[in-house]
Structure 1
C-alpha cells in the first residue's frame, strides 16, 4: 500500500527558500494559527499534481512565487517535489517548477510533458481532473448543499463520462436531423401517392359536370322569365299607388306649414316671458344678497348699542351704590367729629375743676423755712431708715405703672379691634349683597344662553342639512345637465338613431310577439363601472335586434331592403349557437364572467341565452394588469377585458378602449332622455327651495351675536363674582383673626387687671410699714405743726397730681383713637368721591356713544325694511310672472302636441311614400340586376322590342338609384318587351302573392340544387394525360430521396447508440459502486447500523441527463430532506459521499482541509475514528484542522507557524504522536499502534 513520504517546497507561496514538509505518517494533522500557511501545504500538493493557478487561489502562475503577492518576489522560480513510496518501497519523485508563466514537469528528475506527467500520476491512482485525493476548504459544505443536477456533474467528472458529453450531444443532434429528414420525405411520398390517384379521377368527373351545367342553364332560363313577368306586373301596381300617396302628402305639408308658423310665434312669446322671469329672479337674488349683507350689520349695531346701554345701566347702579356708601361714610365721620369735640370739651372742664380744687387747698398748713428744713432732714432720715422698704415700694410702683400703661394700651387696642371688626363686617355684608345680585344675573343669563344654544343648534343643523343637500343637488344637476349636453352634442347621431328606432318600431308593429328590440335596451350592466367593458365585449352586437327565429330575421331583412333602411344585425334566439359556460372561470381570482355582470330586463328573461352567446366565456377584470395576467399567464389563454375597455383575445390580439367606445357606452345612460329632463326640473325646483333656506342664516347670525354678547357679559359677571368671593374669603379670615385677637386680648386684660390689683395690695403693705417708720421719725414734727401724721400734709397734694395724670392719659388715648379713625374715614370718603367722579365721567361718555350707535342702528333698520319691502314686491311679481309662464307653456305644449300629431300624419305619409318608392326602386333594381345577370350569364332571352345589348353593364346599387344615369337605365329597360311564350301558362296565370312566392321558391330550390351539385363537382381537367406523366416522374424522385434518408437515419442511430452505451457504462459503473459503498461508509461514520445513506437517479435509463438524489437517515431520526439536517449531520453525510466516491478511484493518500469545521465533539470523535480506520485499511490521511479533539488522535502533527520580516513566511514543526498513548476511549487502538 503506497503512501506520500514528504514534500519538498522551494519559494512556493508562504514557504521561503527550500523546506521539507514531512515525513508523513498514516494519519497526519496539519495545525497552526489562521494565516500561518496551513492551506498552502494543500496548495503545494495541488500544484505538484498539475492543478491550474485558478484552483490554487491566485490569478496568475507567477503569483505562486514567494513574495510575489506584495510585488517583491524572493526568486524567479518556485518548485514543489512530492516523494511517493510505492508498494515495494520504491520511491517516485514528482516535481513541478514554474518560472514566470511557464511550468516544467519532472518524474524522477526526468523532464516530461504534462500529459505524460498526469499519466504517471494516474498509474499510482491520482486522477487530477477527478480530484480524487484533495478536498479543499469548504468543499464538504458545498457537497452537502449540492442540488441533484450538481451531483450528476460531479459523478460525470469522477466517472469520466462527462468527456463523452459533447460527442453524445453532437450524435443526438445528427440523429434528430436525420429523423426529421426521413419524416419529411415520408410525407412527400404520401402526397405524391395521393396526387397520382387523383389524376385518374379527373376524366370521369368532367363528363358528369357538363351534363349538370346544361340542365342548370335551362332551369335558370325558366326562373328568369318567371321573375321578369311578375316583376313587371308589380312595377305597374306600385307606380299607381305612388302617385296617390304623393298627392296626399303634398296636401298635409301645406296644412303643417300653417301650424308651424303658429308654434313659432308662441315659442317666441314664451321665450320673452321666460327672459323676464329670469330677470325677476336675478333681481330677487340681488335684493336677497343686499338683505343678507344689511341684516348682519343691523344686528351687529343693535347688539353693540345694547351692550353700551347695559354698561351705562351698570355704571348708574354702581354710582347709586357709591352715593349710599358716601352718605353713610359722611354720617359716620360726623359722629366721630362730634365725639371728638365732646371729648375735648370734657377735658377742658376737668382741667378747670382741678385748678379750682388746688386753689381751695391753698389755705391749709403753711410751713416755716426752718420747718421745711427739718422736714427735709427728717425725710432724709426716714429714707435712710426705710431704704429697703422704699426700694421695694419704688419697684412695685414702677411695675404697677408699667402694667397700667400696658393695660391702657390693650384697652385702646381692644377698641380698635372692635371698630375693625365692625368695619369688616360691613364690607362682608356689602360683598354678600353684590354676590347675590350677580348670581341671580348669572343664572338668568345661563338660562337665556341655553335657549339660544338650542335655537342655534336647530338652525345650524337645518342649514347644514340644506347645504349638504344643496351640494348633492348641484352635483346631481351637473351630471344630468352633462348627460343632456352630451345628448345635444350627439344630435346628428341621435337623428340617425331616431330613424333606426322608427324602423324598429315598424318591425315591432309588423311582428309584435317575435321582435323583442335592441340588445342594449333589453339588458343593463349591474354597475356603471362595467359599462365600458360590457360595451367592448358586445361590440357590433350591442345594437343588434333580438328576434325569436331565423325566419323572422329573414322577413325583417327583406323589410329593411324594401324600406331602403340602414343595415341591421339580427340575433335569432332559435338559431344562434350558444356554447356552454366554463363554470371553473367563476373561481378565477380578480375576475368575473361578463355574463354575470349583465342583468336582463324583467320583461325579457329569455335574453339570457342571447347574452351568453354574445359574451361567451369572456372575463371582466378590475385592472389592466389583472386582465393581461389572467389572459396570457395561465395554463390556457382566456379572453379578458379591463374596466377601461382594453380587450385581450385568445389569439394574442389586444384592442384598447377609445373615445368612440366611451361614447357608445353612454347608450346605457341615455336610454330615457325624458326621465333626465324630469329629473332636471325636479332638481331645479328643489335647488330654488334650498336657496330660500339660506335666508335663515341671518337669523342664525343674529342669535349667534346675541349669544356671544351674553357669553361676554356672563364671563365678566363670573369674573366679578369670583373676585367678590375671593375678597370675601380674606374678609372672613380677617374677622376670624380679629375676633381671635380680641379674645386673647380680653384674657390678657383680665390677667393684667388681676396683676395690678395684687401689686397694689403688696405696695399698700410696704407703704404701711414705711408709714409706721415715718410716723416714728415725724412724731415730734407732726405734733409741732399740728397734724396727725406727715401723710396728712402730703396726701391732698399728691392725690390731686395723680388724678390729674390719670385723666390726662385717658384723654390722650381717646383723642388719639378718634383722630386716627377720623383720618381713615376721611381718606375712604375722598377715595369714594374720586371713584364716583370717574363713574359719572364714564356714564357721560357711554351715553354719548349710545346716542351715536342709536342713529346708526336706525339708519340700518330703515335700509333693511326698504330692502324687505322691495323683496316682497319682487316676489309678488315673480309669482304672477311664473303663473303667466306656466300658462304660456301649457298653451305651447298643447299647440306642439297638435303639431306633432300633424307631423306624425305627414311623416307617416312620407314614410309610406318612401316605402312605396323604395319598393318600386327595388323592383326596378331587381329587374335590372336580373337582366344584367342574364346578359353576363348569356341566357337566351327572346325580346319582341329592344335587345339585350341595350342593358347597361353597370351594377346599380341602392344608394345610386336616384342618379340621372340610373334613371336612364331604368327608362331604357322599361321600353323592352319580352317574349314570354316559352314560359309555362300556369306560371303566368298566378295572381296571389303567396302562390307566386311559393312557385318562385320552388324554382329557386331547383336551380340552387343544381348549383350545389355543380359547386360540389370538380371542373374537368383538360391536361390529365400530361399531368399523369409529371406525377409519375415526381413520385419516382420522392421514393429515391426517402430511401436515402432512411439509410442515413439508421447509420446515425447506430453511432449514437454506441456513444450512449459507452457513456452509460462509465457513469453506471461509478454510480452503482458509490451507491453500494456509501451506505456502509455512512454507518461506519455514524457508528450506528440504523443509519442509512441512499443515492437514487431521477432518470434510471440515462442518469447523466437528470439529477441524482442523495438522502440520509440519521440515527434516531425519521427520514428528512438533506436541507432539514443539522450542520453536523450534513457534514457527516457529505464526508460519506466523499469517501464513497474516493473508493471508486482510490488514491494512495487523501488530503482534507478543515472538514471538521461544522462538527461538534461527538461527531469529531466519530470522524477521527473513521479516519484512523481508513488510514490503516486503505489510504494515507492528511487533514488540516484547528480542533484539538481532532488532531489529538492523529499519528503525527505538522505545526505551521508564521514569521515576519519584510514579508510573512511559514515554518514547520513535526511531532510524532505514536509514542504517546491516547485517552481511555481509544487506548486499545493506541496500544495496537505501539
Structure 2
C-alpha cells in the first residue's frame, strides 16, 4: 500500500506562498508551539481529501486563502496537492484548489469532477465520509463516546453498505405495503368465506323458517275457526243472558204493578161510566129547558152585532180571554202536577236502580283499568329494557369492532395471522380441553404463564428452560396422572406435566444476586416475569440457580471460574450455555425457533382475543336484530295504552257524565217532587183570585153586550145575549166533546185492563228466571272455552304478527273500531234507559238483534282484514263480508246469507260434550302451539333473501380470490428483491464488522500491553445489525467492568484508538492522521500507545500525528516542525527532520543538521 509522500501548499490558511511539506515517513510527528498552525496542516490534508468547509473551521471556502480572514487575501486562489507514492514507486498527485468559481479538482494534473475525484480517492482506500483515518483535535474521546447508532453509521460508511440503504428502505416500504395488501386481501377473503358460511346458514335458516311458518299458518287456519265459533257462541249467549235479565226485571216489575193497575183501572172505569150517565142526564134536562131556535136572518144579525160588540169591548174581551186562558192553564198545570207527582215517584225509583247498576259498571271498569295499568308498566319496562339492550349492543358493537380492527392490525404487523399447523392446533386444543375438564387444577403451559422481561433475554431463557418451556403446570401428581389418562383417551400427543406441589425445588442462592462481576450478570429466574403464583415454583424448578451474562466469555468465566473458585451454570445472551461439568451448549437455528415461542404466545393470545371478539361481534349483531322486537313492542305498548285510554275515558265518562247526570236527575226529580204540592196549593190560590177578576171583566163585557144586543134580545125574547150563547151555541159542541172524552177514556181503560188480564206475569217471571240461570251456566262454560281458545289463538297470532309487522296497524284499527262500537253500545244502552219499561222490552229485543248482526259483521270484517279464510257453505260462496264498519240493512241481509261450514272441524271435536274433555283437548293443542313457538323463538329473524345473498357472496369470493392471488404474487416478487438487497447489505456490513469485532480485543490488549484487558464489540440486532446500534465496551487492565462514560480520559483514548486501528485492520487506508490524541494520556499510556504505533508503522502502516509531548513524538521516524513567522497576518513556517539515523544508533539528541523546507514567495 502506498504512502503520503509530500504536501504542496499554496496560500492555504497560515501557509503563505508555495510550501512543500515532507517527505512523510511511516511514523511522522508534527510538532510546534500552540498557535503555530499545526491544525492548519491537518485542515490542508482534510481539504485535499475532499472534506467540506464546515469541517475545516471556516464558513466558506474563500476564507481558506491566506489573509482572507482579516480581509487581506494575498491571492484569489489557494491549493493543496497531495503527492501519493505507490508501492512500485510511481507518484500520483491529487490537487484541490479554491477559485472564484468554487473548488477545482485535479488528478495527476488533469481537471476532473468531484465524483471522479472521490472515485480516484476510493481507489487508494480513502473514504472521506467514513473519516476513520482522520482524527481532529479533541475528537479522539468522542469516537469512544459515540452512541450505538453512530457506531452503526460509521461501520455503514466504512463497509459501504449505506449505498444500499435507500434501496433497502424503499423495498422495505414496498414490501410492507405489499404484505399489508396481501394480508388485507387474505383477511378480506377470510371475511368473505365467513360471510359465505353465514349466508349458507341464513339460507338454511330461511328455508327452515319458511317451513315452520307454513306449518304455523296451517295450524292457525285450523285453530282460528274454532276460536271464532266459540267467540260467536259466547257473544250470542251473553246477549241472550243480558236480554233475559232485563226482561226478567221488567216482567217482575210489571207483575207487581199489574194487579194494582187493574184494580185502579176498574175503579176508574166505573167512575167514568157513572159520570157519563150523570152528564147524559144533565144534557137531557138542559136540552128540554132550552127551546130557542133562530132563523138565518137572526143568526146573521147576531153575527153583525157580535162583531160590533167585539169592536166596543175588544180590550175587555182580550183581558177576559187572557184571564180565562191563564185559568185554563192553571187547571191544566194542576192536573199535570198531580200526574207528575205520581210519575216522578216512579222515575225516582227507576233512577236509583240505574245508579246502582252504573256504580257496579264503574267498579268493573276501574278494576280492568288497574289491570291494564299493571300490564302497561310491565310492557314499558320491557320496552325500556329492550331499547337499552339494543343501544348497549350498538355501542358495544362499535367498541368491539374497534378492538377487533386493532387486534387484526397487530396480527398483521407481527405477521401472526398465518394459519396454525395441525400439530400446534392439536396441542392448543389439548390444553384448552384440559383446563375445561380440570378447572383450577391445570394452569397452562409454562411458556404461557411467564415471559422474559426483555426480548434480548429470549435466547438465554429458552436455553435454560429448554424442554420445560412447553410443560404443563398443574397442582398435584394425581391431577397430572388423570390428565395423562385423558390425553390418551382423546388421542392427543403426549405432554410433560409439572405438579408444583410435588416438585423438589432447590432454594435460590441469594449470594448470586450480589455478584458484580462480570458486569450485568443476573439470575435467570430474576429476568423472567411470572404473575401466576402456581407457576413460580415450576419456573424455579426449571431455571434453578442459572446465571445470565452479557457475553459468552463472561458465562465461561462464571462456569469454570478460577482455580479453587465456585462454578455456576451460566448462559450468554446469544444462547451459549456453560455448565459446571464442562458441557457447552451453543446457540443454533433450532434454539432461535424455540425462542420464537415467546412471540408465538403473544400471537396466540391475540388470535384467541380475535376469536373471542369475533364471537362477541356476531352475538351483538344478533342482538341488534332485536330492533324489530323493539318496534313490535312499541306497537304492543300503543295498543295497551289505547285500551287503557278507552277504559279510562269510559270510566271518566260514567263518573263525570253519566253518574253525575243520573245523580243530578235523581236530585232534580226529588227536588221537583218536593215542590209539586206547594205548586198545587199556589195554583189553587191563583185560580181563586183569578176567578174574581174574571167575574169583574165578564160583568163589564156583559154590560157592553147588553147595550148592543138590547133590541136583538127584545126581538128574540131573551133576557140577554149570553143566555142564547151559553144555552144554544155551546150546548151542542160541549156535549159532543164531553161525550167523546168519556168514550175515549173508557176505551183506554178497558183496553189496558184487557191487556193486563191477557198475560200471566208470574209465569213469565218464572220462565225468565229459569232462562237466566241456564244462560249463566252456558256462558260460564263458553267463557272458559273462549279463554283457552283465545289464549291459544293469541299466541299463534302473536307469532304471525312478529312475522308480519304491517298487521299491527290493522290490529290497532280493529281495536279502535271495537272501542268505538263498545262506546256506541253504551250510548244506546243509556238512551234505552229513558224509555218506559214496556218500551225497554221491545227495544231490548231490537238491540239484541242489532248487536248480533254487528258482532257477526265485526267478526267477519276482522277475519277479512287478517286474511283468515273462514270455510263457507256452497250456497254462501257468492256472499262476502263488507269492508265497511258501518252496517246497513242491505249488508245485514247480504251477510245473513253467509253460512259458516264446520265440516272441516274434526268429528271428535264436534262430538265433545263434556267440559273436561274439551279442556284436555285445548291443553293438548296449547302444548303443541307452545312447542312450535319455542322452536320459532330459537330462530333468528331469517333473511328471506339468503339465496340471493349466497350468489352475491360467491361472486365476490371469486373476485377476492383473484385479487388475493395477485397481491400474494406481488408480495412474493417484492420480497425476492428485498431479500436480495438485504442479503447484499448484510454481507457488506458483516464483512467489515465481523473482522473488526474479532480484532478489536487483540488490538486493545496490544495497546494496553496487558492480556487481561478486554474489549467487546457487539450488535444489538444480530439478524440485521445495521438497523440498530452497536455496543462497545472495554475493561481496563486490573479494573472491573464499567460503562464507557465512566472510564478516564486516557482509557477512553486507548479505547478509541483500539476501535480505529481495528477498523483500519479490516479496511486499511494509506495513512492515519491524528491531531493531539495524547492530550489525555499519562506517561505510561503514552509509552504504550507510541510503542504500538511504532510496531504498526513497521507493519506497512503510515501514521501522522500532531503532538506536543516529547515522550510521544521522540519515537517518530521523522519530525515536521511548525513555527510562527512574524508578519501582519499569521504565517507559519515549516521544518522537516529525519530521526531514522538516530533511532538506529539509539541517540535522542538533535545535533544533526536541520533541513529547512523550501519557501517560494509569490
Which TM-score band (shorter chain)? Answer: 0.3 to 0.5
Normalised to the residue count of structure 2, the TM-score between the two structures is 0.41
- Quick check: which has more Rg, 1 or 2? 1
